[in-house]
Amino acid sequence: MTKLLLASIHDVGPRFEREVDQLAELLGGILGGPKFAMLVVPNHWSEAPLAESIAFQRRLREWADQGVEMFVHGWYHKDLAEHSGAAAFKAKHMTAGEGEFLGLSREVATQRMADGRKLIEDAIGRPVAGFIAPAWLYGDGAREALAESNFALAEDHMRVWQPQTGKVFATGPVITWASRSKTRQLSSRFFAGLARHALHVQPVVRAAVHPGDVTVPALLGSISATFGAFAARRRAGRYAELLTR
């Protein structure tokens, strides 16, 4: 079975247009074209509504026409819920207030998923590839909403699965980079360096970049080295291929 590299750009939307352009150019150059997915946020932190940016909607359609897969990536991306127990730990340590779907009820999660899907599909003129929660974090309500949805795919830190059946298509940690502190920058670069060697045994490797990565030259260097190492030994593919493997 052919080994795959699944690349993705997170937090795509009008708020980060310049950064997304830079990341798309970087990955496209390494992977030999637009062989990556984009995770689209409909209204990042309530400050960048995709619905009001016809120009960016056109850009999404252009990317989709070129073969870029589009995922619904929450609605606001911002987490406004109060958490306790394990959820409080995740909200504090696994993201900086970005885990929007960690504390939502099933009803609210269902509505945001549906609204995001309609907006993005209207923009790109075709079905979305699936749903991925901000920060890869899902609470009980989000998981219940996903199971009742008809999204083809969902993803978290450790797997890609089919929401309706629970069938798992890929496992293993996502390689990603963190820019919000020196400590996180160093630890993410360290993990990426290990992953370039340790994860080659995996049939599917996933790697994701974020707009903030472009602000740190050392992260861009690590990103280039990591994608280059995997692209030299496996094919950059599409998430949709998992459905038929």
What pLDDT, in 10s, does the model give residues 61-106?
999 999 999 999 999 987 565 534 443 343 343 445 667 999 899 9
Buried b (16+ CB within 10 A) or exposed e, 192-221: beebbeebeebebbbbbbbbbbbebeebbe
Domain locations along the chain: 9-173+235-244
CATH code reported for the domain at 9-173+235-244: 3.20.20
| Interatomic CA distance for residues 91 and 93, integer angstroms | 6
pLDDT at residue number 94: 43
pTM: 0.92
What pLDDT, in 10s, does the model give residues 15-24?
999 999 999 9
How many CB atoms lie under 10 A from the CB of residue 156? 15
Residue 68 identity (one-letter amino acid): V
Residues 24-49 have a mean pLDDT of 97
